[in-house]
Amino acid sequence: GMMTEMTNLEQTARSEGIGIFKVCDGTNDKGGDDDAVTTSNFIAEFEPMEYSTEIVYGDDGGKSVLVSNSDKQASSIPPSNPGDVRGCSDFEYYEDALRYYERYYPYYGDVAKLDRDGDGVPCPGLEHTSNQDKYRMKRPK
């Protein structure tokens, strides 16, 4: 069938070095008597982009949003350690506790001891927010 024919064409292209399977050897293919080998030390360098996209996950899966990279650079500075000053009762919704947990966990671990069983879900007994833009599922590690 068609699949067999396509597989045979791919094998022929691979064995003969045709199309995307052509091996570039660095020789000058411009014709003529010039057998000089062209070499290139070119390295592509790009300036950091001002904006990039990130996927924001919600109950509908996820959507791509535009994010300023200057905000990312500023947020890479570690926050000061708040210590064990907050508990689950200080948060109205699970998403609020999760945001606090995710803010400090990469730098200091679970400083407020919001994740007692160590599964990555802080304050699992809190109810979810009714704001669909802030909703996050409770997903253990």
Query: What tens digit of pLDDT does each residue of 68-127 get?
Result: 776 555 556 788 888 889 999 999 999 899 989 988 888 899 999 999 999 989 999 999
Cα–Cα distance, 70 to 90 (Å, whole number):
31
- Contact criterion met (CB below 8 Å) for 79 and 107: yes
pLDDT digits (tens, 9 = 90+) for 37-66: 555 666 667 677 777 888 877 777 778 887
Cα–Cα distance, 18 to 10 (Å, whole number):
9
Cα–Cα distance, 32 to 27 (Å, whole number):
12
Instruction: Give alpha helix (H) positions in 81-121.
Output: 94-108
